[in-house]
Amino acid sequence: MSPDHQAKNIQSWKVVREFIDEFPDNAQCKPWKTLVNRFIDEGMKLGLNHYFRAGQAMHHIIFSTLDHHGLRDEPRVTVEFHPENEVRVAYGNNNLEFNPPTLEYTLPFELALATFRRLLRQLWKATMSEEIPGEILD
């Protein structure tokens, strides 16, 4: 993966974080916003932002290995957050609003990151010719 591709990936996570920060701190949005920000921050601490592009579609956060904005039917990992501390993690080629994913799990937040990383590994193997980086394997 080129340094330019990595820089775009890192920037995409920042843009998503800024997008989430724009939601109001009211009773309806704050629990969701807090959960999403925790998840994004954990992914950045793990260095996943170097290898995957992040984007948003309404209330979903979408991760891909593409070097450009805009998914069509390409594989992706989609994450949906529920304020009761649950996270839906899905792998597939479509928007979750319109089609069911290939795989999906709804888990407590504490278990969701491990499943997210497993699905990112699956995404990497399906879309990249390069060997999977060690940070993703851990």
Q: Round to whole Å and give the CA distance between 134 and 11.
A: 21
Q: How far is CA 45 from CA 38, 39, 49, 84, 123, in A?
A: 10, 10, 9, 24, 20
CB atoms within 10 A of CB 37: 16
The pLDDT of residue 85:
84
Domain span at residue 80 reads 3-137
pLDDT tens for the chain, residues 1 to 138: 788 889 999 999 999 999 999 999 999 899 999 999 999 999 999 999 999 999 988 779 999 997 766 667 789 999 999 878 899 999 999 887 888 899 999 999 999 999 999 999 999 999 998 888 876 766
Overall pTM > 0.75: yes
Structural domains of the chain, count: 1
